[in-house]
A = this chain, B = another copy of it.
């Protein structure tokens, strides 16, 4: 890692001539073309102050501009009058603006975007929108979020759908995720559910290849792919139409640093008609002159329900614009990867700590375990497991008390540190020093 990296604006993002020993070699330089230095840019994020923030995969640090946009929206509505013709027209415009801003980030068209409350809502829309028949099969990975597992369980119970789980966790460092998924497809498979960026291990799955494999599989009905994109939207530089993924559910409050309660779902244009709305409301329908519903909306709004926290929509739109002020999604991703590689390398050097991945991460999630031995005299395996969990939990709590925000993951039992393009190398150095001290 000795190359100097310049972004498209001729800016030296991170001169990565660091040594294995410390930060001495790390220099952030700005060229005359730089729009905003990261130090200056970070001033807009109150959540980054007075702590070292490594929880972007849980929730992002919302920029002050986003809070101001939320406040302004609330105030505007009250000033002009809620539910007035004027305010309703304004809200419709703002909703359209957010849809455009999201579509631009994902390199797609606004019509393919449904606005939702969160990533799980998007997954629910897809999972309940398929006309399941008894004996249909759904394939998911062993790294999906408990919320998604619970939806799938209820789908299986209600419709007599078979559920298969394929071992993706084991492909983190070796093995072939595409092959694993292909081996688990059967002629009655209708849907594959997976995460693009695994929330527990930080692995990035080769989505384009997986989608192509599913689409090419000679199933009785086309095999569709639903992605839980909780960790990938706002961190990976995405072009959804190019990936050919069918359904991509995401949230705005993690890597995009928007407020909680606003997310979205991308539906590939070619499969739009297949999906039926389940949770339904006035936003998804057109009405006739007498106010009776007469047909679904013909774009992503078809799956939207009713009144949402629309001022928070303004918050997300503004958060996206704030990131763009600093750099393109490619520039942000590039910096993020350099930082996560640095964190990964430094963590791997701590005695008693082991990173789950044995190569640098391809995104911002770095998961690691405490490897110190558990005295195993008469303790059973479950007791040793519990002790490991408690140890993990204690370390995260101690770090939080010292101003370092990370989280535990239950399976595999580990600690997850997330870096964003907003992270500073010196924050990583301080974290490393703290972990060293605490795990001594």
Contact = CB atoms under 8 A, between A and B. Distances in A.
A28 interface: no
Given A117-B309, A289-B386, 6 more contacts: A45-B78, A71-B71, A117-B117, A150-B281, A150-B293, A151-B281
11 contacts: A61-B78, A62-B82, A81-B400, A117-B117, A117-B307, A128-B278, A146-B282, A146-B291, A149-B292, A261-B308, A287-B410
A70 to B, nearest CB: 7
Contacts of A356: none
Interface in A238-267: 251, 253, 259-263
B71 A280 contact: no
A153 interface: yes
Contact of A147 (B285, B312, B385, B386): B285
Given A117-B306, A289-B389, A150 B280 contact: yes
A60 B81 CA distance: 9
Interface stretch (A46-54, A214-222, A323-331): A46-54
A312 B263 CA distance: 16
Interface in A142-169: 145-147, 149-151, 153-154, 158
B277 A154 contact: yes
A391 interface: no
Interface stretch (A7-15, A119-127, A185-193, A344-352): A119-127
Interface stretch (A83-91, A364-372, A423-431): A83-91
B74 A55 contact: no
A59 interface: yes
B411 A305 contact: no
A83 B55 contact: yes
B83 A61 contact: no
B120 A282 contact: yes
Nearest to A407: B83
A52 to B, nearest CB: 10
Nearest to A150: B293
A78 B279 contact: no
A402 to B, nearest CB: 12
A287 B67 contact: no
A237 interface: no
Contact of A305 (B46, B62, B124, B280): B124
A284 interface: yes
Interface of A: 45-47, 50-51, 53, 55, 58-62, 67, 70-71, 74-75, 77-79, 81-86, 117-121, 124, 128, 145-147, 149-151, 153-154, 158, 251, 253, 259-263, 276-282, 284-285, 287, 289-293, 305-312, 385-386, 389, 396-397, 400, 405, 407, 409-411
Nearest to A121: B305
A156 to B, nearest CB: 12
Contacts of A293: 146-147, 149-150, 153
Contacts of A291: 146, 409-411
A187 B239 CA distance: 55
Contacts of A121: 279, 281, 305-306
Contacts of A145: 282
A307 B149 contact: no
A92 to B, nearest CB: 14
A113 to B, nearest CB: 18
A309 B262 contact: yes
A30 B187 CA distance: 77
Contact of A82 (B60, B77, B119, B150): B60
Contact of A279 (B53, B259, B279): B279
Given A278-B278, A282-B147, A396 B85 contact: yes
Contacts of A259: 74, 309, 311
Given A67-B74, A150-B293, A83 B405 contact: yes
Nearest to A67: B74
Contacts of A151: 279-281
A190 B252 CA distance: 39
